[in-house]
Structure 1
Amino acid sequence: MAEERRQPGKLPSIILAVLVHLAFIGVLVFGVDWQTHEPAPMVAELWNSLPGVTPPPPPPPPEVKPESEPPKPEPKPVPPKPEPKPEPPPPSKADIALKKAKEEKLKKEEKLKEDKRKEEDKKKELEKKKKQVEEEERKRQADEFRKDQQSLKTQIDAQTAARAAASAAASARFSEVGKYTGLIRDKIRNNIVAPPDLQGNPQAVFEVTVIPSGEVITVRMTKSSGNPAYDNAVERAIRKSSPLPLPPPEKGLFEQFRQTEMKFKPNELSQ
């Protein structure tokens, strides 16, 4: 169909081209004097000047026919208007009730799904809070245990240090007590004048009470040596040695010497 519509436009162009070629060929043929007979003898004349040669007239320009306008396309046929669809009949009461029942059922299902989702979210939140509380409790117990261990260690260290200090203090006190006990015994023994007829090595025991200044206030024999002369010699030496050498008050050792039991033997006098 498209080729048939284009043919009228091509035909005038072809005709015009053929005419132009024919006109050009005619000019070439008839514009030149062709001789088919024998040539006559040529007579030459000498001219001072040659006459001008008139050129043949130019061939007329070929007539150009205007191209015809292509035919206008045929209008497309207008499709017929579709017939209006018949309106559906109105739904019956049964259909309306069924549709409503389906909608209600769908709403209930959606509500059940939503309630189930909310319940699951609630359970997840409770589980999350439970784990959080358990984790916080675990951390609290761990911190409390760590603090208890640290407190126990501190207490043990303090007790150990206290025992060490007490032991050191006791050792120092014992050393001081032993030191001043030795000084007291040496002073008393230097003042004992044993009887010359003393035989054996009897032991006399006395309880001596002093005041902080070292002065002797009481001397009481708790065990006799069996030799009254030796017993009397020891008692005289104790009283003569007053005041006894005691540690200074700042050492806090007076209670160790307030009331002291002292034992004496004759053989110790020579040591």
Structure 2
Amino acid sequence: IVDLWANLPSPAPPKVELPPPKPELKLDVKPPEPPPVKPVAKPEVVKPDIAMKEKAMKEKAEKEKAEKEKAEKDRRVLEEKQKEAKKREAEAKAAQKRQQEKEAEAKAAQREKEKLAEAQREKEKLAEAQREQEDAQRRIAEQQASAQARLRNEYIERIRAKIRSKIGQVPNLQGNPEVEIDVIQIPGGDVLSVKLKRSSGVSAYDNAVERAILLASPLPRPPKPELFERELNLKFRPQE
């Protein structure tokens, strides 16, 4: 069977209508203007005398500038030298001051040392004088004590001598026994009491000495009142 429809041509596609084109906008663009051309200055013609004057002025200005710079440099150098000189002078003065202070301290220390030494010498001198004075006083005291002791011994010996003169003969006395007796007297020499302190071992001799003391009253007076002794301790032996 022949398909008749298959041999038929395909139907034409529908026609698409496009919108009408928009009208083109025309811009009024001006071309860029060329840069202005600077007028070329004509070279100025310098006259010879003006050129020489300007050159002289320029050289003068440069010379003045150089002189000014040199003067400024010299001023700075001089200022630096003066500053350094002042610094050295200040250091020298400071060193001199330190030296003077050191010397002053040394002199003060020496004066203080001499002062202390003088004070020590004066102290030793006073101590020596004090020792000499004390020695002299001690010698005087010893001499006075010796004189007093001598006078006292003489005083006591006079008392004992008077008492011995009153002791009679004790018969049958053998040996040389010692008797010790305490005596109390008044300033006039009168005897107030006689007390046997230590017996000789021979009662007859003890009694003879006690009687002799009472018979010797009043006892001899001392050469000086200060030598008087109220209480006397007397010792006797038959052979003295």
Offset of residue 137 of structure 1:
1.7
CA–CA separation in structure 2 for the residues paired with 1:211 and 1:90:
135
Which residue in 1 is equivalent to 2:199? 224
Letter in 1 for 2:173: L
SS of equivalent residue, structure 1 residue 219: strand
Which residue in 2 is equivalent to 1:208? 183
Cα pair 2:184 2:231 within 8 Å, conserved: yes
Pairing 1:267–2:239 present: yes
Which residue in 2 is equivalent to 1:253? 227
Which residue in 2 is equivalent to 1:143? 118
**Distance 1:218-1:94 versus aligned 2 partners, 3 A rule:** farther
**Distance 1:91-1:245 versus aligned 2 partners, 3 A rule:** farther
SS of equivalent residue, structure 1 residue 90: helix
Which residue in 1 is equivalent to 2:219? 244
SS of equivalent residue, structure 1 residue 221: strand
RMSD: 2.6
Which residue in 1 is equivalent to 2:80? 105
Q: Of 105, 114, 119, which residue of structure 2 is paired with 1:130?
A: 105
Aligned-residue identity in percent: 35
CA–CA separation in structure 2 for the residues paired with 1:197 and 1:187:
24
Letter in 1 for 2:232: T
SS of equivalent residue, structure 2 residue 64: coil
SS of equivalent residue, structure 2 residue 193: strand
Offset of residue 201 of structure 1:
2.5
SS of equivalent residue, structure 2 residue 220: coil
Offset of residue 133 of structure 1:
0.7
CA–CA separation in structure 2 for the residues paired with 1:183 and 1:146:
54
The number of residue pairs the alignment matches comes to 180
Offset of residue 93 of structure 1:
8.0
**Higher mean C-alpha displacement, 98-107 vs 124-133:** 98-107
CA–CA separation in structure 2 for the residues paired with 1:144 and 1:156:
18
For residues 7-26 of structure 1, what are the structure 2 equivalents within 5 Å? none
CA–CA separation in structure 2 for the residues paired with 1:198 and 1:150:
67
Q: With structure 1 as the length reference, what TM-score do the two structures score?
A: 0.58
Offset of residue 98 of structure 1:
4.2
Deviations 1:107-133 (A, max 9, x none): 431231122011112112112212321
Letter in 1 for 2:239: N
CA–CA separation in structure 2 for the residues paired with 1:232 and 1:139:
79
Letter in 1 for 2:192: I
Cα pair 1:205 1:262 within 8 Å, conserved: yes
SS of equivalent residue, structure 1 residue 209: strand
Pairing 1:199–2:199 present: no
Runs of 5+ consecutive residues of structure 1 not aligned to the other structure = 1-85
Which residue in 2 is equivalent to 1:185? 160
Letter in 2 for 1:259: E
**Higher mean C-alpha displacement, 197-206 vs 98-107:** 98-107
Runs of 5+ consecutive residues of structure 2 not aligned to the other structure = 1-59
SS of equivalent residue, structure 1 residue 267: coil
